[in-house]
Chains A and B, each alone.
Chain A
Amino acid sequence: MRSDTHPPSSKGAARDRTVGVSRTRRVPRWLGFATAAIGALALIGWVADVGLLKSVIPGNVAMKPNAALGLILLGAALSLVTSSRAAAARLSGGFALLAATIGAATLMEIVTGLDFGIDQLLFREAPGAVWTATPGQMAPETAVCLVLLGLALPLLRHDRSIVLAQVLATPVGLVAVFELVALALGAKGASPEWPFTLMPFPTATAVLLLAVGTLFTRADLGFMTVATADTTAGKFVRRIVPITAVLMLAIDEANNLGEEAGIFGHDIRAAVSMTVATAAVAVVTWIVAATLHAREMTLRASQRAGGIGSYELDIAAGTWSGTQVLDEILGIDATDPRTLEGWAAVLHPDDRDEMLRYFREHVLGQRLPFDRDYRIIRKSDGQERWVSGRGELTMGESGDPMTMVGTIQDITERRRAEAMLQEAESRLGAVLSSAPITIVATDSQGVFTLSEGKGLERVGLEPGENVGVSAIDVWGSLPFVEPTGEVITGKDVVDRALAGDTVNAVSELRGVYFDNHIGPLRDADGEVVGIVGVAADITEQTLATEEIRELNRTLEARVEERTRQLTEVNSELEAFSSSVSHDLRAPLRSIDGFAKILEENYAPQLDEKGRHYLEVIRSSVGSMGHLIDSLLRFSRLGREALHLGKVDPAAIARIVVQEDLQQETQGRSVKVTIGEVPACMADRDMLRVVLSNLLSNAVKFTGQRDRALIEFGATRKGGEPVYFVRDNGAGFDMRYAGKLFGVFERLHNADEFEGTGVGLAMTQRIIHRHGGRIWAEAEVGRGATFYFTIGDAP
C-alpha cells in the first residue's frame, strides 16, 4: 500500500487556477479611492454650490450630501479592507458600518414617513429640487445599496463569509447598472411611472465601482472563482457576460431606431425584442453547451484511455455519482446503487474491512486525502482487479467534510507488470547471489553499486560488502594478466572499462584466481554510465594447469629416474641370481665333498646305519642342487628375449619324447600319441621347455599305471588353437587347481612323485610371455589334461 501523503490542499489548488490574483487585489483599492473621490467631489459641489459636481449631467438629480458621505466611507472601507494591519482593518469595518447606518436611517424615514432631520443635516436643499421626492433625501435604492455594501465589506475579511459578501454585492451592482441604463435612456428621476428619486449619475457610477470592487476583492473565493478561473467556464463568464450586456443594449437601441424611423410600431417592437433576445440567449447557451459537451467527451475518452474513472461523493447523503468509465472499472450498471454500500460491495472481501476502516478513520476522521491501492471484485465478470483510489475532501461552512471528489484507476496490468518485474528481479537476485561467480557493477565514478555472487565467499567478502567503495581502492594495485600475457593494474582495467573497452584478464586475490570480463555499462543512449564485471573462479583449473605444466617439465627427468631405478633393480636381481647360484652351491659342495671323504676314509669305523645317514645327506644335497638350478633357470626365463618364429609344436613334441623322456620311460609301458596340430609363432627353445615339462609331468604322474596313455593334440576354441597334453595318471583335486602353477607348489607327496615344484611355474611363465593362457582339468585318479594357447605372439 502506498503512503497516504497528498500535499496540495483544495485551497491552494483553487488559487492556482485563478488569474491575476494580485492584480484583482490592487484594482479594488483603486476603485475605493475613485468612489471616495466621487463622494468628495459631490460634497465640494454642495459646499461651493457647483451643480455639475453634484449631478455631472446638467439638469439631472444631484447626489445628496448623505449619499456622498456614505460613498466616501464605503470607498475608504474598500481601500482598507485588504490591509494586513489590524487597525486599518478595524477602521474599514467602522466606516462600512457607519455607511450602512446612514443608509438604514434613510430607509427608516422612507418606510415610516418620519423625518429624522438627517437629510438636511449637512446642507439644506431647497424644496422642489429637480427630480427629488423629498428634499435632501437620497434615493431609496441608494440607501439600500449603502446598507448592503456596508454589510458586505466587513464580510470580505473572512474566507468563509466572502461568498456572502459577493451575494450582497451582486444586487447592488445590478441596481447600479439599472440606474445607469435608465439615465442613459433619458430617465431623470421621480416621475409618474417611477415615484422614487433615481440615483444621480455619479452615485450610480460610484455604487457600481463599489460593487465591482467588492466582488473582485477576493475573486479567488466564493462564486467569483469561476470568473477568474483559467478554465473554459472562466473564459465564458469573462466574455459572454459583457457581450450579453452590450448585445441587450444594442437590441434596445436598434428597436428605438426602428420605431423612430417608423419601420415598426410599439407593439411589434416588443415582439422583435423578445425574439432577438431569446435567440441570442439560445445561441449563447448552445455555444456553451456544445463546448461543455466536447469537453466532457474529451474527458470521458481520456479517462477511458487512462482507465481512470472519476466520482463525486456526497458525504452527508452517502451517495456518489461517477463517470461511465468508473462504471466500467467497477463493472456496475445503472441498476447498482451509487452509495457507500454499493462501493463496499465491489471491494475484495479480504480488503473490505481494511478499506472501510481507512475511509472512516483516515479520510473522514483525519480529513486526509484518500490515496490507496486496493482490490475489487469486478461485478460484471467477477474478476479480481487492482485499482488505485484517489480523492480529496471539500469542507462545508461548518468545516465538516461535505464532498469528496476523486478518481479510481484500474492498475491491474501495471501491478501485474510490476509483480513480474519484481519476480524477475528477485529471480535475477537469487541467480546473482548463488552463482559460483562474482558479478560487480560500478557507477561512472568507479564506485561499486553491485557486488554479488558466491565467488565472493572465496575471498572472504559478504555480498554487497564492497558497495560504496571505489573499485580503484579495491583493485587499483592488483595485477591483471591479459591473454597476451601483458600485466596491467586494476586501475588500468577500471580506466579502460570506463573509456568503453572490454578487458579480459586473470587476477589473483588471496590465493584465488579469477577470470575477469570487465566492460562498460551503457545507458539507452549508449553513454558509458559505469562498468560491469563478471569474474569466474578458475583457481582449480589454474592450479591443475600449473601442475600439468610442472609434470610435463619433470616427466623426462622422472622417466630417467624410473629407468635408472629399474636398471638398478634389474642389476640387483642379477647380482642376487649370481649370488644364489654361487653362494648356495658352494656350501652344498662342501657338505657333499666332506660327506664323501668321510665315507671313503672312515667307512670301516661306521656301521650300516652311519653309512645310510651319509647317503641321505648326499642325496639331500643333490635335491637341493637341482632346486637351485631350476630356480635359476626360472628366473633367467623372465629376462631372456623371445626369438619368435613359425614352429610346429607336434615336431617339437616328437623331439622331446625321443630325447628328454627316454630315460624316464625306460622299463615302462608308456604310449605317447602326437596328433596333427596347427603351427604357431613361438620361441622354439622355450616351447620345447613347455612341452618337455608337460610331457615329463604326464610320464611322471602315470608312473603308477600299468599302461600309461599320453596324448598331445589341439582343439579350437573361439577360432584360437588350444593345445593340450592329456594323461590317464593320478590326476589331482580341482580344488587345488589354483596352486598348480605356483613356484614350489606341489600337489603330491614327494614320496609319491619326485619334483621341485618349479616345472609348471616355469611353463606358465613361458606361456604368459607368449601372450597365451594355461589351465588344467583333472580328477583324482582319473588323469589330468593341461590346456594352453600360444596367443598372437607379441
Chain B
Amino acid sequence: MKTYDDAPEILLVEDNPNDVELLLRALKKHRITNRVNVAKDGVEALEFLRSIGKDAEGGGKIVAPRVILLDLKLPRMSGTEVLSQIKADPVLRKIPVVVLTSSQEESDLAATYGLNANSYIVKPVDFERFLDIARHIGIYWLMVNEPPVFD
C-alpha cells in the first residue's frame, strides 16, 4: 500500500524520452515536484490508472495523480483514445487531463475538448518558452488548483 506522500502527483504520458527528460528537468529546476510517473504509451497509462481503481475496490483510499499530462501522438494507443477511456470511466474522469502536444491542428483541439480535456497546451520548440510553460503547469495544477475528491 502506497502512502499519500509516495503517490505521484503527475502522470506524464509521453513516448519521447527527450521530452520526458526536458520536462522533468524543468519541473525539478523550478523545485515543483519530483513525484512524476511516466507512461511511455497509452496502454501503459491506462494500466497504471486502472491499478488505482483496483485499490479503491479493495477498500483502500484512492490515491490519484493531481494531473495527467497527455501527449496525443503515442504508440499503440493514441492520446485521444486514452482521453476518451479516462473520461468514460466514472472514477478516472475526475482527474484533470492536460493535453500537452506539439500539434496545433484545429482538429486535435476540437477532438480533445470534445472529449472533455481540461486544458490544451502546445509544446513550443524554443526551450526557454518550454521551461516557462512547464513552470506554469506545475504551479497551477499542483499548487493553485484544488484536486478532485474521491468518495
Contacts and interface: CB of A to CB of B under 8 A. Distances in A.
Interface of A: 574, 577-579, 581-583, 585-590, 592-597, 618, 621-622, 624-625, 629, 632, 636
B130 A578 contact: no
Contacts of B105: 574, 577-578, 581
Interface string B12-41: 000010110010010000000000000000
Interface string B95-137: 0000001111111100000000000000111111010000000
A622 B126 contact: yes
A590 B101 CA distance: 14
B70 interface: no
Interface in B80-94: none
A582 B25 contact: no
B126 A586 contact: no
Contact of A574 (B16, B107, B126, B128): B107
A593 B72 contact: no
A582 B107 contact: no
Contacts of B103: 578, 581-582
B102 A581 contact: yes
Nearest to A625: B125
Contact of B126 (A577, A579, A625): A625
Given A587-B18, A597-B127, 14 more contacts: A574-B105, A577-B105, A578-B73, A581-B102, A581-B103, A585-B123, A585-B125, A586-B123, A589-B102, A589-B123, A590-B16, A592-B127, A618-B127, A629-B104
A596 B127 contact: yes
B138 to A, nearest CB: 17
A590 B19 contact: yes
A618 B125 CA distance: 10
Contact of A578 (B25, B107, B126): B107
A581 B71 CA distance: 13
A579 B104 CA distance: 10
A587 B19 CA distance: 9
B23 to A, nearest CB: 9
A594 to B, nearest CB: 7
Given A589-B130, A590-B22, A621 B125 contact: yes
A589 B22 contact: yes
| A-B complex: 4 closest residue pairs judged by Cβ atoms | A590-B18, A625-B125, A582-B102, A593-B127
Contacts of A582: 72-73, 101-103
A428 B104 CA distance: 82
A593 B18 contact: yes
Contacts of A594: 18, 22
Nearest to B25: A597
A592 B73 contact: no
A786 B107 CA distance: 34
A640 to B, nearest CB: 9
Nearest to A621: B125
Contacts of B124: 589, 625
A587 B107 CA distance: 23
Given A578-B105, A589-B19, A590-B22, A583 B127 contact: no
Given A578-B107, A578-B108, A581-B103, A586 B19 contact: yes
A594 B127 CA distance: 8
Given A589-B19, A590-B18, A632 B127 contact: no
5 contacts: A574-B107, A582-B102, A587-B18, A589-B130, A624-B125
Contacts of A583: 73, 102
B102 A593 contact: no
B125 A622 contact: yes
A594 B18 CA distance: 9
A625 to B, nearest CB: 4
B125 A589 contact: yes
A624 B126 CA distance: 11
Contacts of B73: 578-579, 582-583
B128 A632 contact: no
Contacts of A577: 105
Chain A CB within 10 A, most for which of B72, B102, B103: B102
A6 B72 CA distance: 117
A588 B18 CA distance: 11
Contacts of B108: 578
Contacts of A592: 125-127
A589 B126 CA distance: 6
Nearest to A622: B126
A593 B104 contact: no
Nearest to B72: A582
B109 to A, nearest CB: 11
A102 B129 CA distance: 179
B127 A586 contact: no
B78 to A, nearest CB: 11
Contacts of A587: 18
B127 A585 contact: no
Contacts of B104: 581, 629, 632
B130 A586 contact: no
Contacts of A579: 73
B97 to A, nearest CB: 18
A625 B102 CA distance: 11
Nearest to A584: B102
B126 to A, nearest CB: 6
Contacts of B127: 589, 592-593, 595-597, 618
Given A578-B108, A622-B126, A585 B102 contact: yes
Contacts of A593: 18, 22, 127, 130
B12 to A, nearest CB: 15
Contacts of A585: 102, 123, 125
Contacts of A589: 18-19, 22, 102, 123-125, 127, 130
Chain B CB within 10 A, most for which of A577, A582, A590, A632: A582
A583 B102 CA distance: 8
A409 to B, nearest CB: 106
Chain A CB within 10 A, most for which of B73, B104, B124: B104
Given A592-B127, A596-B128, A625-B125, A586 B16 contact: yes
A569 to B, nearest CB: 15
Contacts of A597: 25, 127
Contacts of A629: 104
Contacts of B126: 592, 622, 625
Contacts of A624: 125
B143 to A, nearest CB: 24
A618 B128 CA distance: 11
A577 B107 CA distance: 11
Nearest to B106: A636
A568 to B, nearest CB: 15
A588 B129 CA distance: 13
A592 B129 CA distance: 11
A22 to B, nearest CB: 128
A578 B105 CA distance: 6
Contacts of A588: 125
A589 B19 CA distance: 8
B40 to A, nearest CB: 14
A478 to B, nearest CB: 64
A579 B107 CA distance: 13
B38 to A, nearest CB: 16
Contacts of A622: 125-126
Nearest to B126: A592
Contacts of B18: 586-587, 589-590, 593-594
A581 B102 CA distance: 6
Contacts of A581: 102-105
Nearest to A582: B102
A585 B127 CA distance: 12
Contacts of A625: 124-126
A597 B108 CA distance: 31
Contacts of B16: 586, 590
